[in-house]
Amino acid sequence: MTSGNPFEIAQRQLDDCARILDLDPGVHAILRQPMREMHLALPVRMDDGSVQVFPAYRVQYNDAKGPTKGGIRFHPEETIDTVRALAAWMTWKCALLDLPLGGGKGGVICNPKSLSRNELERLSRAYARAFAPFIGPDVDVPAPDVYTNPQIMAWMMDEYSKVLHKNAFGVLTGKPLCVGGSAGRGDATARGGLITIREAAGILGLDLSRARIAIQGYGNAGYYAAALARSEFGSTIVAVSDSRGGVYHPTGIDPDVALAHKQATGSVAGLPGAQPIANGDLLELDVDVLIPAALEQVITGENAGRVKARILAELANGPTTPEADEILDANGVHVIPDFLCNAGGVTVSYFEMVQNNAMFYWEESEVHQRLDQRMTLAYHRVLEAAQRYGVTMRQAAYAVAVSTVAEAMQLRGWV
């Protein structure tokens, strides 16, 4: 059995890929560990005058293909191994989408829900100030992640600009539009995921206009996945959930009504007219498409055999353990692996970098068209590799991504 350590899971997945590719041992050894990581302590003055110190991390996993790229999480249960794993997955994600970027990730151990707006701003600026020597448009470009948002990115960009004594909009992505953000960034993760679902449905002969969908996690990605599946495909959203509980309705849930209820009460739980459902039970519903859009390791060797969906689309990072993968594959579940399914966010973040560098910004329709093109191509590259090697979609995604990074390392003379 695999431990619950996310970085050990990421390493195990890489080891599996190395066997498939017969990877050079030197390349394999380098890719098993982060290239560079920083552990810093952020002292922050709280509203009551006291000082609290927050542990903070930044991992730059591999930059063979370009500057590292990855989000910053504010979470009370953040760990360095989670950050390492996410940085590794970002490396493969960027390579899979053929972006000229490596993978990175950051995190702060804090509970942002307990911080005032002023405390949150001071913490955000402290992170940007402390990590300023280690980030930048040509080095490492952070972005929003769990419990961070465009406003936090704006504060960080402003603080970094103060350190450099010049405007540096390109240091972060996921910014508000008026300070260098990109149109189409808000729903990019979900939109990219739905493009891969569309392609998978075409391969499987699934009519998405008649499809029933369940979504675990109703944050940014989960909400937009529900809204876009309904508006773009005509699918029926039968269940949604968040950390406090979930709701089920066999004839469908209106995503906007569920969002309004969550904004008013703090949770989708208790949505009028819908039945309560536990997060674990949601994963086992008789649906066509299951979208885990919350946190890691929710589908395990214990419950994978009860997953009934034809398509499992991983909008979350690392929602499925290796033991669960084996069971899902044996049961014929078509898994769209996380670093393919949720790559829309980093792809549009890359588009934001391009626009920042050019000081010329695209219309939203152009962003959508370019995203569709890249996600569609990436899905079919993975599908072709799965058929060529006779492996699962996750193993195929690793094979495509790792071989791309390995080639860059070898051409640069690293091994």
Active site residues: 105
**Is residue 385 within 8 Å of 400, Cβ to Cβ?**
yes
**Is residue 229 within 8 Å of 266, Cβ to Cβ?**
no
**For the chain, what is the radius of gyration of the CA atoms?**
20
Q: Give helix 364-389 / helix 344-358 axis angle, nearest 10°.
A: 130
Picking from 392, 354, 383, 410, the residue whose alpha carbon sits closest to that of residue 96 is 383
Q: How many CA atoms lie within 13 A of 134 on its CB side?
A: 20
Those residues whose C-beta lies under 8 Å from the C-beta of residue 337, and which sit 6 or more positions away, are 314, 382, 393, 394, 397
Beta bridge partners of 233: none
One-letter amino acid for residue 235 of the chain: S
Task: State which H helix or E strand residue 56 sits in.
Answer: strand 51-62
DSSP SS3 for 364:
helix
Instruction: Give the integer Cα–Cα distance in Å for 312 and 299.
Output: 10
Question: φ and ψ at 141, to 5 degrees?
Answer: -120, 105
Q: Mind giving me the DSSP string for 188-243? A: HHHHHHHHHHHHHHHHHT--GGG-EEEEE--SHHHHHHHHHIIIII--EEEEEEET
CA distances from 401 to 38, 95, 394 (A): 25, 5, 11
Instruction: Give the integer Cα–Cα distance in Å for 34 and 252.
Output: 44
CA 323, chain centre distance (Å):
21
**Is residue 123 within 8 Å of 42, Cβ to Cβ?**
yes
Beta bridge partners of 289: 213, 311
**Is residue 7 within 8 Å of 85, Cβ to Cβ?**
yes
- Report the first-to-last Cα separation within the chain, whole angstroms: 32
